[in-house]
Structure 1
Amino acid sequence: MTSARLSTLATLRDRLERIGAQGDALRPRRVSLGHAEADAALQGGLAVGAVHEVFAEAGRQSAAATGFVAGLAGRIAPRRPLLWIRQDFCEREAGALSMSGLAELGLDPRCLVTVCTADVEATLRASADALACDALGAVVLEVWGETQKLDLVASRKLTLAAQASGVTALLLRIAATPNPSTAETRWIVRAAHSPPSASWAAWGTPLFDAELVRNRHGLSGRWIMEWKCDERLFTEPAADSQPLAATSAHRPHQARTKLRSAG
């Protein structure tokens, strides 16, 4: 009886180990963003090999969202090729991507390949082909305006392609309303006030008002996230980003006050 119980116990342990191994295999790898509260809500960071959506209004918010997506791509695949697929209307409305601007954000322009497509259908076809290539680090799909082509079926196809290859898809939607999708996360990004960090600086570090409105495996939230270009990570902004004036080394009025009180 004892040997039978031990055999049954060993069998159960073996099954539990197999279940645990399968669970680890199915659990997506995550990359920390650097922002403590956002990473906690994301249960450790942004899931790799998944689809993430970033929405923004037209105008200056589109520029902020583009910078935010560039930061996400920089965290996910800092030294791997990045394919950026843009609907041609995006380039007519917002202009071409600036390689010098991406370099200032900390990205290597030599790792970036841009593709301009005629419409949403061509964008989806190019994205499906790109996500099948596991040599890429990430694929950005940039689409402008409302469209019925990016429905739940199209989102599901992108998700399956990303899961199969392990390549992350970043869907950038400008001037559009969120629709039902299979995306892992959905963000709404706005520009945040970025005061200069020093008197000689032309502008301060990029600050984003990032609202996580959908998180399939965690909490949502809204944070002001500062992008550190040199470290290539998001952080909490400093409590006081303005530099403090240095204390004067020579204060003759205080010296005269001390002399009067001594006399």
Structure 2
Amino acid sequence: MRESSPQLAALRRRVARLAANGGAASRPAGGGLTSGCAAFDEALGGGLAAGRVHEFFAADALDATSAAAFAALLALRTPGKAPLIWLRTADAARRAGSIYAPGIAELGGDPGRLLLIETPDPKLLLACANDAIRCAGSAAVIVESWGKFPLLDLTAGRRLALGARDSGTTLLMLRLNAAPAPSVAETRWSVVAAASRALEADAPGAPAFDLELLRWRAGPAGARWRLDWNHDDHCFGEAPLSGTVLPVAARRAVLPHGAAAA
């Protein structure tokens, strides 16, 4: 996107206003995105590293909402008024559905911090991402795409990684209905919706997520986690029988309870 773009200029002005009101100062010490689950954050050296690129994959289209929710809740846990910049293509919006502000509020997030921008195509999405990641004062930048993203090659990825490093802004790449490919991401995750625990009177339980760490540049991958979202405490917590930090054979499918191995 060109520097003269009125949409980008408006975005930068709003981010600057929010940062001036305390957004930039609200970043946690060290700048990492933490889940609130002590064991999970400690295993990653203090949460997702700031100023880095982190990928979240939902190989099944049905898990796209879970991957988006996990990334958004993680970013919106940062204190203060720092905005979360969410970039997505119109195709992703059409396939994954609209972002519902009351739903974010119901989960304990502040939808007023969300700056949502939809682009008509992946080319403009990538151009916006390169500009947005350099806007100081944001809690994080989410870039959501659907299916293959040929423009996001290693060269484009390095450009985004350098922008994130220089600005100190964390970039969360939502790769929905896509398969992992070589990249410069600091971490790569697979996110799958997990069964929630029913509450009293069979009321719906809290959102639950099955996570697998597919890649981590700073350490070993292969760990699996099951995390629940706690609305009241505004944090994630370990679900019972979580597979925390237990290595799993590379890309081995997890069998349902009681199923026999082939």
Q: TM-score range by the shorter chain?
A: 0.7 to 0.9
Cα distance between partner residues in 1 of 2:200 and 2:160: 44
Mean alpha-carbon deviation: is it higher for 187-196 or for 215-224?
Answer: 215-224
Match of 1:93 in 2: 95
- When residues 144 and 96 of structure 1 are mapped into structure 2, their CA distance, relative to the original with a 3 A threshold, is same
Cα distance, 1:160 vs structure 2: 0.6
CA root-mean-square deviation: 1.8
Match of 1:48 in 2: 50
Higher helix residue share:
1
Aligned length in residues: 212
Cα distance, 1:77 vs structure 2: 5.7
Q: Does 1:169 align with 2:182?
A: no
Question: What residue identity is the alignment partner of 1:211?
Answer: E
Secondary structure of the structure 2 residue equivalent to 1:122: helix
1:193-212 superposed matches below 5 A: 193-199=195-201, 201=203, 203-212=204-213
Q: Compute the TM-score of the two structures, normalised by the length of structure 2.
A: 0.76
Cα distance, 1:232 vs structure 2: 2.0
Cα distance between partner residues in 1 of 2:135 and 2:37: 30
> Gaps spanning 5+ residues in structure 2: where?
1-29, 242-262
Cα distance between partner residues in 1 of 2:79 and 2:219: 23
Secondary structure of the structure 2 residue equivalent to 1:90: helix
Secondary structure of the structure 2 residue equivalent to 1:47: coil
Match of 1:156 in 2: 158
Match of 2:215 in 1: 214
Q: Rg: which structure is higher?
A: 1
Secondary structure of the structure 2 residue equivalent to 1:213: strand
Cα distance between partner residues in 1 of 2:39 and 2:220: 10
- When residues 30 and 147 of structure 1 are mapped into structure 2, their CA distance, relative to the original with a 3 A threshold, is closer
Mean alpha-carbon deviation: is it higher for 227-236 or for 106-115?
Answer: 227-236
Secondary structure of the structure 2 residue equivalent to 1:134: coil
Q: Does 1:132 align with 2:134?
A: yes
Instruction: Say whether the 8 Å CA contact 1:74–1:232 is kept in structure 2.
Output: no
Cα distance between partner residues in 2 of 1:130 and 1:59: 26
Instruction: Say whether the 8 Å CA contact 2:76–2:139 is kept in structure 1.
Output: no
CA-to-aligned-CA distance 1:63-115 (integer Å, 9 cap, x gap): 11111111221234663111110111011112211111111222111111110
- When residues 142 and 107 of structure 1 are mapped into structure 2, their CA distance, relative to the original with a 3 A threshold, is same
Cα distance between partner residues in 1 of 2:225 and 2:149: 29
Match of 1:57 in 2: 59
Cα distance, 1:149 vs structure 2: 0.9
Match of 1:147 in 2: 149
1:237 to 216, 221, 239: 239
Instruction: Say whether the 8 Å CA contact 1:77–1:138 is kept in structure 2.
Output: no
Cα distance, 1:31 vs structure 2: 3.7
Cα distance, 1:216 vs structure 2: 1.0
- When residues 79 and 238 of structure 1 are mapped into structure 2, their CA distance, relative to the original with a 3 A threshold, is farther
CA-to-aligned-CA distance 1:147-175 (integer Å, 9 cap, x gap): 21111111111111011111111100011
Question: What residue identity is the alignment partner of 1:143?
Answer: S
Cα distance between partner residues in 2 of 1:84 and 1:207: 22
Instruction: Say whether the 8 Å CA contact 1:78–1:107 is kept in structure 2.
Output: no
2:106 to 77, 89, 104: 104
Instruction: Say whether the 8 Å CA contact 1:51–1:185 is kept in structure 2.
Output: yes
Instruction: Say whether the 8 Å CA contact 1:41–1:218 is kept in structure 2.
Output: no
